[in-house]
Structure 1
Amino acid sequence: MAKPYSIGRDCRITFLWNGQRIDIRDVTSFVASQETQALRANPLNGTPLEFNVPNGWRGSFQIARANAALDNLIAAIETSYWNAGIIGSGIIYQYITEADGTTSTWEYNNVSVNLQNDTWQADHMIHQKIQFFASTRVKIS
């Protein structure tokens, strides 16, 4: 029997920063929300009109920490900024296995990131959360 709906396991994430793949092995969640800017007209002779103009994507992903990849990335971003005033950008690829067996691929471009959550506790798995902003999301396949 074919599966009728998408489930969380149907999603895979690949993250590139300045053209290099970042080894984020165990992504445990991924969230992306479209941002828009509302443009509004209030005609004297009619009802209000509103148009939502695309204005990027904001989201986050969480990993179960298996290595220092995200810590190293954040350190490299900070060092690059403080030493040369340069902030790079990344690309996120989201691969979704659809219910019919096909794969949808989405590319988030001009990604900026910040490490949101890095909580360490005794006898707990360490989960790190990255928030991101992307200029666009483009369908690749």
Structure 2
Amino acid sequence: MAGENTFNIGRDGAQLTIIDSNSGPVTISNITGFSSKPEMIKLKSVPVNGRVLRRSIYDGHSGTFEIDRQDASYDQYFADAEAAYFAGLPPGQVFITQTVNELDGSVSQWQYSDVALYPEDNGNWRGQEKVVQKFSFEAGRKIRIA
């Protein structure tokens, strides 16, 4: 049918898996948002002939996660990471895998490697409002694995 499945919506790429070599699969409940973008270094050279030359250098990826809090999974993961840091333990290797349901029915998988996770917002607790928590990431690479 014309007009159906003409673009992706958020839930098409909704399966996200985080693996930490120190703790195994990371379960953070109720992820409601995920964004990612490539990081680029933009170089510019202006030789004496006046012709402007440009080059872009790939410099990893970054992104954010949003969660509507429903349990202690976010707090526990980052509390454990903080405790490991203060215990002098080395950080684990972290990977993020995103599975996308493509419009043609196929499935694509993308893996972010050399990931660092950063807690950004533990949430605001107010009356009858939901508590939204946020964390971000930076990654060295993004590759297609399926």
**Same fold by TM-score greater than 0.5:** yes
Q: Please name the residue that 1:59 is paired with.
A: 63
CA distance in 1 between counterparts of 2:47 and 2:40 reads 22
Alpha-carbon shift at residue 8 of structure 1 (Å): 0.8
| 1:123-134 mapped onto 2 (5 Å cutoff) | 123-134=128-139
Aligned equivalent of 1:87, options 80, 86, 91 = 91
Q: Please name the residue that 2:145 is paired with.
A: 140
Aligned-residue CA RMSD in angstroms? 1.6
Q: Percent identity?
A: 29
The range that moved more, 18-27 or 55-64, is 18-27
CA contact (8 A) 1:77 1:88 kept: no
Compute the TM-score of the two structures, normalised by the length of structure 1. Answer: 0.91
| 1:24-35 mapped onto 2 (5 Å cutoff) | 24-35=28-39
1:122 pairs with 2:135: no
CA contact (8 A) 2:29 2:74 kept: no
4+ aligned runs moved over 3 Å, structure 1:
none
CA contact (8 A) 2:75 2:122 kept: no
> Normalized per residue, which structure has more strand?
1
How many residues are paired up? Answer: 141
CA distance in 2 between counterparts of 1:115 and 1:122 reads 23
Compute the TM-score of the two structures, normalised by the length of structure 2. Answer: 0.88
1:107 pairs with 2:111: yes
Question: Does the residue aligned with 2:87 lie in a helix, a strand or coil?
Answer: helix
The range that moved more, 3-12 or 84-93, is 84-93
Question: Does the residue aligned with 1:59 lie in a helix, a strand or coil?
Answer: strand
Aligned equivalent of 1:17, options 11, 17, 20 = 20
The range that moved more, 50-59 or 76-85, is 76-85
CA distance in 2 between counterparts of 1:126 and 1:89 reads 29
CA distance in 2 between counterparts of 1:8 and 1:82 reads 37
Q: Please name the residue that 1:8 is paired with.
A: 10
Alpha-carbon shift at residue 39 of structure 1 (Å): 2.3
Question: Does the residue aligned with 2:92 lie in a helix, a strand or coil?
Answer: coil
Counterpart residue identity of residue 18, structure 2 = F
